Structure 1
Amino acid sequence: MADAQIIDGKAFAAGLRERVAGAVAALKADHGVTPGLAVVLVGEDPASQVYVRNKGKQTLEAGMQSFEFKMDETTSQETLLAKVHELNADPRVNGILVQLPLPKQIDEQAVLAAIDPDKDVDGFHVVNVGRLNTGSSDALVPCTPLGCLLLLRDHFGGSLSGKKAIVVGRSNIVGKPMFNLLLQESCTVTVAHSRTADLPGEVGQADIVIAAVGRPEMVKGDWLKPGAVVIDVGINRIDKPEGGTRLVGDVDFASAKAVASAITPVPGGVGPMTIACLLRNTVTAACRQNGIAEPDM
């Protein structure tokens, strides 16, 4: 069997950002609306700082307003909640994202619950979780699972109906919303995790494998059904034998690409889709808040 087709998330994300920019230009021209995204960063986490910087840059490149708020590591929960309430009330802000993780003195759930669900472009508020769970079209969907779904739709030419899918991982951020999205696409979906009996056997029945378990190269090529499509959400840094480190996914790419029909690489697969989907969600939120029909992105 020939090696798997590589699903180029970087290229797809670039196209999605172009479509978002076109939608933003149309909103400005036709309705006088410029979508605005506010990002709040508490503390000095290096990975979070890079991520927030990239979000700000891509927000501006898409023609949107970017509002960044950097707060000290020692910021109290009360102060952060006051900032969230201020952004909820600001009409220029259509999307609010509080960068996780937060320092230990702050209750993440309390902060996420304080965000206006209609501005919750991360899709983590319990109202949006409930909307997604019940199949409501009003849900703002978490960005990483949404990115996975868009890549799958593109690969399969629009329809996933009737496919058997497995999601390896049951997190609130990826696993559970991914399950609901695939179910809405008329897939038959299994959610597996670290305590699943015969995990290789379960994976081996699936036409679509979503790996989001946070364990480097855990899913092996000989687990896969020949011709399966593999979406690898994992981003793990491991040591190289010769020194230094490299990024790998939750799937053993070398063995999997010999069995799968298509696979996302790490890096360059799902990762670039996350910020692109955040921008897409911000445009969606801006349209809903202003009673404007949502553009096709």
Structure 2
Amino acid sequence: MSTTETAQLVDGSGLAARTVEETAARAAEIARRTGTSPCLATALVGEDPASVTYVRMKRARCAKAGIRSRHIALPATTTTAELVGVLKGLSDDPGVHGILLQHPCGPHIDERAAFEAIAPEKDVDGVTMHSFTAMSFSSPGFVSCTPGGIMRLLEAYDVELAGKHAVVVGRSAILGKPAGMLLLAKDATVTYCHSRTVDLPAFVREADVVVAAVGRPRLIRGEDIKPGAVVIDAGYNPGNVGDVDFTTARTRARLITPVPGGVGPMTIAVLLAQTVEAAARQLGVEHS
């Protein structure tokens, strides 16, 4: 690709809208056949403004998709034991089909202990160790929503992954690590990089697919993108800035996700789709 051309933009908003439309149709079918609408329970500790906004947005999207939502608002003083008790209660409730713990929960909460209190069959956010294991072994389960959204985007744009070199920049338990495992399952050769990687640009320059998920604005420079590469920017930093220097990267990449409008919309779409799938499994409804 010459420097006078620009990459094709990946329309995450469009694919997310189609995904939610399909999800709403499936939710309506489940309700018609069982008399029960899929239900997503959200739990939030404290009143962090960003988290409150995220939960409100997710509940609004649920309503549009025909998914009931139940919200558990907990005070900032909630202990790990109390939060675990709430999540176990939701796990045991047959009226709840999916559970979302909005994080971060605060420094006093053991988030891993809280996540593990969510029953695997209701882990529609893909945050438990059970779900990560299922992803790693390509077994039935629920994927982490952002990596799951990334894979749907790559599939929608017919990105060939078999034999390609994918570089994942980031190693978080619910984004970087599972993204790499999902890419590996599609026969990509995967390299994990992170904040302590020596000479990160050297790895990026060799990548056919770059997944940026480290949470550092414009960490990945456009001049380091391999001409014709696919760039998936899962970073979201203040000022609507991703982890990739978008302006320069789009002159070298073949495909690139914008921020916002790329990966973000797909995260919620996958959450809704997995909630409906969880309800279908729990209620014994097969695809018609």
TM-score by length of 1: 0.92
SS of equivalent residue, structure 2 residue 150 = helix
- Residue 110 of structure 1 corresponds to 113
- Say if 2:147 is the partner of 1:154: no
SS of equivalent residue, structure 2 residue 116 = helix
- Say if 2:54 is the partner of 1:61: no
C-alpha deviation, 1:294, in angstroms:
5.2
SS of equivalent residue, structure 2 residue 240 = strand
C-alpha deviation, 1:89, in angstroms:
1.5
Equivalent-residue separation in structure 2 for 1:77 and 1:183 (angstroms): 34
SS of equivalent residue, structure 1 residue 41 = strand
**1:1-297 matches, cutoff 5 A:** 1=2, 2-136=5-139, 138-156=140-158, 159-237=160-238, 246-293=239-286
CA contact (8 A) 1:288 1:294 kept: no
- Relative distance call for 1:67 and 1:181 in structure 2 (3 A) is same
Cα shift readout 1:87-111 (whole Å, capped 9, x = no counterpart): 1111111101111111333211111
One-letter amino acid of the counterpart of residue 209, structure 2: I
CA contact (8 A) 1:232 1:249 kept: yes
Equivalent-residue separation in structure 2 for 1:282 and 1:166 (angstroms): 30
C-alpha deviation, 1:76, in angstroms:
2.5
Equivalent-residue separation in structure 1 for 2:138 and 2:79 (angstroms): 36
Percent identity of the aligned residues? 48
Equivalent-residue separation in structure 1 for 2:245 and 2:107 (angstroms): 34
- Greater mean alpha carbon deviation, residues 269-278 or residues 282-291: 282-291
SS of equivalent residue, structure 1 residue 231 = strand
- Greater mean alpha carbon deviation, residues 180-189 or residues 285-294: 285-294
One-letter amino acid of the counterpart of residue 216, structure 2: R
One-letter amino acid of the counterpart of residue 148, structure 2: L
SS of equivalent residue, structure 1 residue 226 = coil
Equivalent-residue separation in structure 1 for 2:153 and 2:42 (angstroms): 26
CA contact (8 A) 2:34 2:283 kept: no
Equivalent-residue separation in structure 2 for 1:160 and 1:286 (angstroms): 31
Equivalent-residue separation in structure 1 for 2:79 and 2:107 (angstroms): 10
Equivalent-residue separation in structure 2 for 1:274 and 1:156 (angstroms): 19
Unaligned runs of 5+ in 1: 238-245
Equivalent-residue separation in structure 1 for 2:77 and 2:143 (angstroms): 31
Unaligned runs of 5+ in 2: none
- Greater mean alpha carbon deviation, residues 159-168 or residues 169-178: 159-168
C-alpha deviation, 1:70, in angstroms:
0.8
- Greater mean alpha carbon deviation, residues 195-204 or residues 143-152: 195-204
Cα shift readout 1:139-193 (whole Å, capped 9, x = no counterpart): 2100000011111111116x53222211111111111100110011111111111
